[in-house]
Amino acid sequence: MNAMCLTGFGRGRLDAVERETPAPGPTEVLVRVLACGVCRTDLHVVDGELAHPKMPVVPGHEIVGRVEAVGDKVTRFTPGTRVGIPWLAWACGVCEFCRAGRENLCPTARYTGYQVDGGYADFTVAEAAFCVELPASYDDLHVAPLLCAGLIGYRAYRMAGPCTRLGIYGFGAAAHIITQVAVHHGVEVFAFAAPGDQQALEFSKQVGAAWAGYSNQPPPRALDSAVIFAPVGHLVPEALSRVVPGGVVVCAGIHMSDIPAFPYRLLWEERAVRSVANLTRRDAQEFFQLASEIRLTTHVQPYALSDANRALADLRDGRLSGAAVLVP
């Protein structure tokens, strides 16, 4: 099979390689990849911003595929079934976090495209128990971003708590999906983009934002909560300065530049800062049930598998509106 593979830590680019098609283990499924979204986490892996990846590794954790073969202990799926493979590849099931329904915090968890090979390839294998059933109403290309941008965005949105005015900092793949969810729930969304990024401002208004401005500008009204998707630490005190007393600021990325020192008055009055780590299978069940009830429009730009480096460069340099998706 063909694959795009990271062969050295922090290299910043992938190599096109040929590999033997993997065989599924007893609890695994072999999946023919139909589409694989390109996530900012992939970029962090490729650029060496996330430590200790498997090496070499095939990135990609927004995988849509067709089951080709199943291990002898798999009863959940049969060949021909379309499945999604998200970021969480495996959790132990026995630690205190797993037993409490918090498998996203499992200390021995493994992650797709990071500790196990992902979807920048013709085929991949995955634990059947961690694959996701996908709504038939979405095609392969447009459902792919829901598997991380949608799932992590949804977890961040829930952690922001009940609100009527939500700020979103960094308007890319996750933001454009969660804006639609929030608007469906009657929430007013205030979108913030990097100064000068007029394209992002226009994009945010297209998907339902009530107001759009640059991240160094005040919104027209104070926010109840804010979600930060951009991996930019100085946005934390900025967002804190824009939320009401008791407001919540959620840091939704797996990697962020250092948060600068800020005065205590920004945190006072019971404001809170919290992070989102990974996702659970319950998140996937809830989100895809929601996605089957309300039609989410994902804005995607397809790339050939062999153009993975170009897709990553376009994401790195801010040339994308919406999500890049690789198509083998």
In sequence order, what are the residues at sequence separation of 6 or more whose Cβ sits closer than 8 angstroms to the Cβ of residue 40? 172, 173, 231, 253, 315
Q: Which long-range contacts (CB under 8 A, 24 or more apart) does 104-107 make?
A: 104/277, 104/278, 104/279, 104/280, 104/283, 105/277, 105/278
- Within 13-134, strands assigned E span 15-18, 28-38, 62-70, 82-85, 88-90, 110-111, 123-127, 132-133
Q: Tokens in use for 324?
A: 């890049």
Question: In this predicted model, what pLDDT tens digit does every residue of 46-62 receive, in sequence order?
Answer: 999 998 899 999 999 99
260 burial level (CB within 10 Å; 0-12, 13-18, 19+): exposed
Residue 121: pLDDT above 80? yes
Residue range 265-274: mean pLDDT, rounded: 97
Residue 274: pLDDT above 90? yes
Q: Tokens in use for 6?
A: 């990271």
Provide the 8-state DSSP code for 119: S
Please answer whether residues 170 and 228 qualify as being in contact, where contact means their C-beta atoms are separated by less than 8 angstroms. Answer: yes
Please answer whether residues 17 and 122 qualify as being in contact, where contact means their C-beta atoms are separated by less than 8 angstroms. Answer: no
Looking at per-residue pLDDT, the higher value among 160 and 52 belongs to 160
- DSSP three-state, residue 198: helix
In sequence order, what are the residues at sequence separation of 6 or more whose Cβ sits closer than 8 angstroms to the Cβ of residue 261? none
Residue 142 parent element (H or E): helix 140-143
- Percent share of the chain, pLDDT over 90: 95
pTM above 0.85, yes or no: yes
Question: In this predicted model, what pLDDT tens digit does every residue of 162-219 receive, in sequence order?
Answer: 999 999 999 989 999 999 999 999 999 999 999 999 999 999 999 999 999 999 999 9
In words, the CATH class of domain 151-275 is alpha beta
Please answer whether residues 35 and 64 qualify as being in contact, where contact means their C-beta atoms are separated by less than 8 angstroms. Answer: yes
- DSSP three-state, residue 218: coil
From the options 3.40.640.10, 3.40.50.720, 3.30.540.10, 3.90.180.10, give the CATH code of 2-147+279-327: 3.90.180.10
Looking at per-residue pLDDT, the higher value among 320 and 106 belongs to 106
Question: In this predicted model, what pLDDT tens digit does every residue of 77-116 receive, in sequence order?
Answer: 999 999 999 999 999 999 999 999 999 999 999 999 999 9
Residue range 22-44: mean pLDDT, rounded: 97
Residue 10: pLDDT above 80? no
Residue ranges per domain, the chain? 2-147+279-327, 151-275
